[in-house]
Structure 1
Amino acid sequence: MKQTETLKALWSRWKYAALIAAAGAALLLLPAGGGRTDAAPAAEMEERVQDTVREMETRMEAILKTIDGAGELHLMLAADTGTARQLAQDTELSYSGAVSAPDDYLRREETVLTGSGSGEGPVVTQTRCPTWRGALVVCQGGGDAQVRFAVTAAVSALTGLGADRITVAKCQ
């Protein structure tokens, strides 16, 4: 009987603390990050790089097919990096200590957004095109030196690759 009274007295005294501790433990068991893993952004970035490469290949194939003597043509581009965007940043510096010799400083950066509500988006200050590792062109006219030269020059002009990184071969 005395133990029951003691437990009741302890419960009435510490019930709020026990409830807060139980709620905290329950929150710790919930998954963090909204179910999004670190692999998802990397996978999305790789997918965007592949989309950029495919789009560029398709557009270049259509143009290269029009070169006199090239005939049926297939193009493969190897990318080192995809497109990249540089976003506008709002930077704030705050110093502590004397003005002439500050003890410490704090730097805070935020991405600048434009629009409002669901139409909000970052302000892009610079967009970089992909960098290419190499190109392979297989075409019917690949056996002719003039066609190889014209195709190599066109691919070089469009990608920035040197002639040593472009291979033009004849298809069967």
Structure 2
Amino acid sequence: MWASRIWRRYKYFLLVILVGVLLLTSGMQPAFNTQEQTAEQADHGFDLQAFQQSVADSLSQIDGAGRVTVLLSLETGEESVYAADVSKSSQTTDNNSNESYESTTSILSDGSYGEAPILIKSKYPTFRGAVILCEGADDDAVRLQIVHAVSALCGISSDCISVSKLSQ
């Protein structure tokens, strides 16, 4: 009787404990290893060359576009924002009050010589303009489709996109 009351009351807690014990005894690594996540995040930086190539490959699939080359101009580059500890110190003299701030980057350590800063977010670059060279640029409908696609993909206005005929 008392066992069924305990089971009803603490069944979720006991199940979590049981799963934890099973994971520890089976030798499996938990899925939330922070050191691996920070290393993966560092590897997933923005690669402009690869992005331009993937855009060109996608645009070449437009009916009538043919071969496509893409050049993108960046307004700002990639920026990473890291966690920081900010401390404030104040000094008061006769009639003056001085405040100073000191900032240090927070470091995540796994205990075995591995340290990495804590990444809060990554800001991807913003684009200034695009030059698209394609074989089918002499067709107005193809040019319009390319301008709309690049505008939607890169977030730049259509007046900053130039579509020209690719030389043979």
TM range (shorter): 0.5 to 0.7
The answer to whether residue 138 in structure 2 is matched with residue 119 in structure 1 is: no
TM-score (norm 1): 0.63
Query: Following TM superposition, by how much is the alpha carbon of 1:170 offset from its aligned partner in structure 2, in angstroms?
Result: 1.6
Q: Which runs of 5+ in 1 are unaligned?
A: 1-50
CA shift in 2, pair 1:118/1:57, >3 Å: farther
Distance 1:118 1:147 in 2: 56
Three-state SS of the structure 2 residue aligned to 1:66 is coil
Three-state SS of the structure 1 residue aligned to 2:142 is helix
Name the Cα RMSD after superposition: 2.0
**2:78 pairs with one of 75, 79, 83:** 83
Tell me the residue number matched to 1:162: 157
Tell me the residue number matched to 2:136: 141
Q: Given that residues 95 and 102 in structure 1 are in contact (C-alpha distance below 8 angstroms), is that contact kept between their aligned partners in structure 2?
A: no
**1:65 pairs with one of 60, 66, 77:** 60
Distance 2:113 2:48 in 1: 30
Three-state SS of the structure 1 residue aligned to 2:141 is helix
**1:108 pairs with one of 84, 95, 102:** 102
Tell me the residue number matched to 2:50: 55
Say which structure is richer in helix.
1
TM-score (norm 2): 0.64
The runs of at least 4 consecutive aligned structure 1 residues that moved more than 6 Å come to none
Query: Following TM superposition, by how much is the alpha carbon of 1:126 offset from its aligned partner in structure 2, in angstroms?
Result: 2.2
Tell me the residue number matched to 1:150: 145
Instruction: Report percent identity of matched pairs.
Output: 30
Query: Following TM superposition, by how much is the alpha carbon of 1:118 offset from its aligned partner in structure 2, in angstroms?
Result: 4.4
Query: Following TM superposition, by how much is the alpha carbon of 1:119 offset from its aligned partner in structure 2, in angstroms?
Result: 2.6
